[in-house]
Amino acid sequence: MLKIKFFINIVFLCLPSLFFCQVKPTANTLNRIIEEKTNGFKKEIDFEKAKSFFTKKDWDSTLTYSIRALSITKNKETANYCHFFRGYSFREKRLFKQAQKEMLLISRSFKLYPFVNKNLGQICLELKDFKKAIYYFNEAEKTPIPNNKDYKTSIIYENLGICYLHLNSFKISESFFFKSLKLKEKEEDLLSLIGLYTNIANLYYMQYKDDQAIPYFEKAYAMSKFVNHFETKKNAAQNMAAVEENRKNYKKALEYRKECEQWKDSLSNQNKIWAVADFEKKFAVAQKQKEIKVLKVENKLKNTQRNTLFFSSIGLLLILTGGVYLYAQKVKNGKTILRQKNKLDELNATKDQLFSIVSHDLRSSVNALKNSNSKLSATLETKNYDELNHLIIQNSSIANGTYSLLDNLLHWALLQTKQLYFNKESIHLYSVIQQIEYNYKPLLLDKSITFENSVSKNIFLFVDLDSLKIVFRNLLDNAIKFSNKNGQITFSANEIDSDFCQVIIQDTGIGMNENTIKELLYEGELLAKKGNSEIIGTGLGLQLCKQMVKKNSGTFDIESELNKGTKMILTFPKTK
């Protein structure tokens, strides 16, 4: 059992390098080749714009202008470049099915077809179609491009090794890993070499060859000392901790664990975290006890109802045959009443939970404002204007947060009582987002967050304006709240078809795990907490957003990854 547990730890720690090995374009070598080979296409304006945006890594604009170029060009080579731009852009946006489709439209006579094979291999690897990935990587290997940093043979060998490792062809995988190692040891890419060492170690651990695996973990750890990549250092130290634990050298393992912790984002105050955890534990216990009491009462009530119905049915059957009909009606009515009762209980529980959370948040906000005002008075006496400015900004932030909570509560109550009026009309999406950005400019500046409005100015939605603003305000507020300083928030839009448009709000914040996403998407879930963050919300704003999106004939979805960011994906009907 110890062996199995250790193996699982190692595999999960090394997922980024195990699943994919890819070198992103560095010295603009691919861009330089494209520039050299497309000098004759300068008269095609849309193509030139698509190429320019591709060079700048503006994938949305690349997709927009490349489709325009495709619609008017009759040049086969231009079409090949457009499909390549689109496939590459879709891959960067992690839309792998669309990327694969575009790449397969490129003819084999294309001058950059070796790059097409390499990209198709990477796409199939992401899609976990390992046999196809092997085919494309083998094709890419047959046509090497010397002295090109975007087309390293060592990377192709490593990706082949990863494919065979997933197919449990360990001997073949090992041969490709060592081919890659031989080449990489001559290169100066330490990060890539560390990843390869880790993959080789995993290969041996999957075969229970501990003695062969551990030296490669040690090499990866030693080399991580010379790179400035946080994730690599953390994973290397964590792997070594697992190695030492497997050796039962717990003292050394503890040292590695401490080193690993040094590379993690430290929380502001450990005592505060323990206090919050203790409070959450007590709250959870109290909630569970309350639920148990409610269940006991409900079970007792159900048993009483069941016994009453049973004896009543016997009495009615003995009295007359017609009693059967009456009994059936009674049972039917009883079930209706029970359903209504259960629904009412759920609504009351939701109401109680909401009042409890909202009152706690309001009390916290008012208390914070009270303390801040006390400090403000003291600061006025000392005439410390820098501190005074800071406290005024803090008071404004607390007031805005409280107002947002009350505003959400009001709209939620109006929705629940069906008093909220919806007037659908044609709305210019870009202008609405600009207005929302203006309203939140102080909060964005306070955290040095970059805001990008990538929405096309030609998109019009057929929705209710007020509810759309409420949705965007709540989602932008959450994005700012859960983003670190110097983060980025992007609003973008994709026209899915002639009837619907997809609006994406993406941030580079702390992200969330699958369980949190399921909780947030579950209808009626009010309490939500993101990962290890201290920030706890009622979840009311998100529930309000979901209901308003639904009222506007749209859909709501979430994509997120811990420590990488979150995408809120909305669809709305377009103006016809």
Residues 372 and 383 in one domain: yes
Q: What confidence tier does 292 reach under pLDDT thresholds 50, 70, 90?
A: confident
Provide the strand spans (E) within 446-487.
450-453, 460-464
- Whether the CB-CB separation of 65 and 43 falls below 8 Å is answered with no
| Residues spanned by the domain of 136 | 112-188
pLDDT at 143: 78
CA-based nearest residue to 427, from 291, 268, 243, 552: 552
What single letter denotes the amino acid at residue 1?
M
Q: Tally Cβ neighbours within 10 Å of residue 263.
A: 18
Tell me the mean pLDDT in the region 500-529: 80
Cβ contacts of 93 within 8 Å, gap of 6 or more: 59
User: Could you give the CA distance from residue 407 to residue 401 in angstroms, rounded to a whole number?
Assistant: 10
* Domain CATH number, residue 479: 3.30.565.10
162-181 pLDDT, tens per residue? 999 899 988 988 888 888 88
- Residues 323-348, buried b or exposed e (16+ Cβ, 10 A)? beeebeeeeeeeeeeeeeeeeeeeee
Q: Which of 157, 188, 219 is the last residue of a domain?
A: 188
Residues 342 and 314 in one domain: yes
Mean pLDDT across the chain:
79
The share of the chain scoring above pLDDT 90, in percent, equals: 17
398-433 pLDDT, tens per residue? 676 666 656 666 655 665 556 566 788 999 999 999
Provide the strand spans (E) within 174-284.
none
In the block, tokens 């790449």 appear at: 103
pLDDT at 362: 60
Residue 226 token pair: 């010379």
Lowest-pLDDT range of 370-379, 504-513, 529-538: 529-538
Residues 332 and 253 in one domain: no
Residue 337 token pair: 């009443």
pLDDT at 466: 83
The share of the chain scoring above pLDDT 70, in percent, equals: 77
Q: What confidence tier does 18 reach under pLDDT thresholds 50, 70, 90?
A: very low
CA-based nearest residue to 138, from 123, 153, 127: 153
pLDDT at 312: 84
pLDDT at 74: 86
Residues 335 and 312 in one domain: yes
pLDDT at 163: 92
Residues 474 and 519 in one domain: yes
pLDDT at 14: 38
Residues 308 and 402 in one domain: yes
DSSP 8-state symbol, 482: T
Query: Does position 182 have pLDDT exceeding 90, yes or no?
Result: no
Label residue 341 left, alpha or beta by phi (over 0 means left) and psi (-120 to 50 means alpha): alpha
Q: Tally Cβ neighbours within 10 Å of residue 419.
A: 8
Catalogue the long-range contacts made by 350-355 (C-beta closer than 8 Å, 24 or more residues apart).
350/524, 350/526, 353/526, 353/527, 354/526, 354/538, 354/540
Tell me the mean pLDDT in the region 390-400: 69
Residues 410 and 387 in one domain: yes
Provide the pairing of β-strand 528-529 with 536-537: antiparallel
CA angle at residue 558 from 554 to 561, to 5 degrees? 165
Residues 310 and 363 in one domain: yes
Termini Cα distance of the chain: 62
User: Could you give the CA distance from residue 34 to residue 52 in angstroms, rounded to a whole number?
Assistant: 11
pLDDT at 434: 92
- Whether the CB-CB separation of 358 and 409 falls below 8 Å is answered with yes
Number of domains in the chain: 5
Residues 281 and 400 in one domain: yes
Q: Which of 222, 246, 263 is the last residue of a domain?
A: 263
Q: What confidence tier does 10 reach under pLDDT thresholds 50, 70, 90?
A: very low
316/90: higher pLDDT: 90
User: Could you give the CA distance from residue 78 to residue 38 in angstroms, rounded to a whole number?
Assistant: 8
- Whether the CB-CB separation of 221 and 239 falls below 8 Å is answered with yes
Lowest-pLDDT range of 36-45, 122-131, 417-426, 475-484: 417-426
251-261 pLDDT, tens per residue? 888 888 888 88
* Domain CATH number, residue 116: 1.25.40.10
Query: Does position 491 have pLDDT exceeding 90, yes or no?
Result: yes
DSSP secondary structure string for all residues of 275-314 = HHHHHHHHHHHHHHHHHHHHHHHHHHHHHHHHHHHHHHHH
Q: Which residues pair with 568 in a beta bridge?
A: 505, 558
3-state secondary structure of 167: coil
DSSP 8-state symbol, 501: E
330-387 pLDDT, tens per residue? 888 888 888 888 877 766 665 655 555 556 456 555 666 666 677 667 777 776 767 7
At how many degrees (to 10) do helices 170-184 and 153-166 cross?
160
Residue 116 token pair: 């097409």
197-242 pLDDT, tens per residue? 888 888 888 888 888 888 888 888 888 888 877 778 888 888 888 8
Q: Which of 416, 439, 467 is the last residue of a domain?
A: 416
Chain CA centroid to CA 520, Å: 13
- Phi first, then psi: give them for residue 532, nearest 5 degrees: -95, 10
Residues 254 and 297 in one domain: no
554/355: higher pLDDT: 554
CA-based nearest residue to 246, from 3, 415, 45, 549: 3
pLDDT at 150: 63
Q: What confidence tier does 572 reach under pLDDT thresholds 50, 70, 90?
A: very high
User: Could you give the CA distance from residue 533 to residue 519 in angstroms, rounded to a whole number?
Assistant: 16
Query: Does position 267 have pLDDT exceeding 50, yes or no?
Result: no
pLDDT at 123: 92
pLDDT at 368: 60
Residues 517 and 537 in one domain: yes
pLDDT at 101: 92
CA-based nearest residue to 133, from 158, 109, 105: 158
User: Could you give the CA distance from residue 504 to residue 560 in angstroms, rounded to a whole number?
Assistant: 12
Residues 281 and 392 in one domain: yes
Residue 344 token pair: 């009412």
- Residues 190-217, buried b or exposed e (16+ Cβ, 10 A)? bbbbbbbbbbbbbbbbbeeebeebbebb
Query: Does position 116 have pLDDT exceeding 70, yes or no?
Result: yes
User: Could you give the CA distance from residue 422 to residue 428 in angstroms, rounded to a whole number?
Assistant: 17
Q: How far is CA 44 from CA 39, 66, 307, 430, 484, in A?
A: 11, 11, 83, 28, 42
Burial class for 537, CB neighbours closer than 10 Å (0-12, 13-18, 19+): buried
